[in-house]
Amino acid sequence: MKSENEKHFLHARERIPWATQTNAKRQNPAWGAFMPPFIERAKGCRMWDLDGREFIDYRCALGPIILGYGFAEVDEAVREQMQRGVLFSMASPLELETAEAIIRNVPWLEQVRFMKTGADACTACVRLARAYTGREHILTAGYHGYHDTFALNWPTPGVPEVLREYVHDFQYNDLEAIDAAFEQFGSQLAAVIVEPYDWGLEIGNAFLQKLRQKCDEYGTVLIFDEVLTGFRLALGGAQAYFGVTPDLAAFAKAMANGYPVSAFAGKKQFMQQLEKTIITTTYAGETLSLAACRKTMDILSQQPVHEHIFKMGDMLKAGFADILTECGLPARAAGVPAAPFIHFDSADEQKNLDLHNRLFAKLFENGIFANERWFINFSHQPLDIEQTLEALRRACRML
């Protein structure tokens, strides 16, 4: 007898390539039936799959859910806006109100434009940098979405090879690679675009400072891809967390508690390139997501969201450490409290991967849904964390 998840998966695979829209939501053979392929509904920090199984969720929809699923105040703001309309023939005043709300939380920003996806926002930043400098080369570290410029390291037929001449990548925190790249391409570099924090490495500051200094020296535009760090690592994102200010930044996840909106933003002199180059799209001014964003911005600044997230994260991380020691596993608790994780650190990489996969299969089986990083949202409560740690203890013992 097939489960509802299985039946739906087999049908979806026929009609929808991958059976999903998002790479990270594809079925992972390592976890088989334990990982729920479809989620029917979610509330707070919990979600339910097609077979009615309940999970405490630490994926937060891959980052966007910062307050909790179905957060009443945000959803109410959306419902109110729906009475007025979703999209108009001219701009809505909500665009300015939302831009101001973002700037209140991220004060280094002078101007903001909206988009729909993280990849859109990153691409727009690069366009502005190229327009500003009149140069074409870019230097990049980290993931910035599926657009051609950023997809050169994947097996991606369809991406023009010629782009490799203009896009140079380096590893996060490789300070020597930065020197080498500026030495080789410095005067041709329009932009450096980086994820300002690598959640797995727990470092960033010296790296960002070095990039700032090199970009200043060569007249290169520094872009932070704050798609994942914005409003999660801190209210003001990685810029506030590390105290290093870029010229432009892309924001998306956690901006609107799951409603689809992103933004590219920064200093006026760079944003003003929009007087020269055209970046335009029909749905960026869609008002339901803007209403959600404006309300999310208010809640983030008025309620102790980050304080709570960090407290729950500390609790989770301390629990990880105790349980890993108790069970004698070759692993340690790692990561910032906003996104703790379990790092298997034996000398044998294959064994680490195997333990990781087995642990996550057991966690799914025990009603815990996490990713490599465990994202916390404002709706996780101490009881949820305790229940999670109990499930983790059971899972670790089974290993």
* CB-nearer residue toward ligand PLP: 309 or 392: 309
Structure tokens at 179: 């020197």
Give the shortest CB-355-to-ligand PLP separation in angstroms: 25
Q: Using the rule CB under 6 A, is 118 a contact of ligand PLP?
A: yes
Which residues from 241-260 bind ligand PLP, rule CB under 6 A? 252
Task: Give the nearer residue to ligand PLP in terms of CB position, either 195 or 286.
Answer: 195
Q: Considering the rule CB under 6 A, would residue 145 count as an interface residue with ligand PLP?
A: yes
Distance CA 40, CA 317 (A): 29
Provide the CB-side half-sphere exposure for 107 (13 A, CA): 3
Three-state SS at 332: strand
Cα separation, 251 vs 231, in Å, equals 9
Are 375 and 63 a contacting pair, CB within 8 Å?
A: yes
Cβ contact 237:230 at 8 Å? yes
Considering only CA atoms, which of 120, 111, 107, 88 is closest in space to residue 275?
A: 111
Residue number of the CB atom closest to ligand PLP:
118
- Shortest distance (Å) from residue 65 CB to ligand PLP: 14
Which of 34, 38, 143, 218 is in the footprint of ligand PLP by CB under 6 A?
143
Residue 228 binds ligand PLP, judged by CB under 6 A: yes
Question: What is the C-alpha separation between 193 and 200, in angstroms, rounded?
Answer: 19
Decide if residue 117 touches ligand PLP (CB under 6 A): yes
Q: Could you tell me the smallest distance in angstroms from the CB atom of residue 230 to ligand PLP? A: 9
The residues in 119-138 that bind ligand PLP, with binding defined as CB under 6 A, are 119, 122
Greatest alpha-carbon pair distance for the chain in Å reads 66
Question: Which stretches does DSSP call E strand in 214-373?
Answer: 221-225, 248-251, 262-266, 331-334, 341-344, 368-369
Residue 120, CA distances (Å) to 60, 66, 90, 150, 182 in order: 21, 21, 21, 11, 26
Which range of residues in 42-50, 80-88, 113-121, 288-296 is near ligand PLP by CB under 6 A? 113-121
Stretch that binds ligand PLP, among 52-60, 203-211, 224-232, 266-274 (CB under 6 A): 224-232
Range in contact with ligand PLP (rule: CB under 6 A) among 41-49, 141-149, 298-306, 358-366: 141-149
Contact call for residue 193 and ligand PLP (CB under 6 A): no
Selected binder of ligand PLP within 227, 271, 290, 315 (CB under 6 A): 227
Q: Which is nearer to ligand PLP, 71 or 251 (CB)?
A: 251
> Which positions lie near ligand PLP, rule CB under 6 A?
62, 117-119, 122, 142-145, 195, 225, 227-228, 252
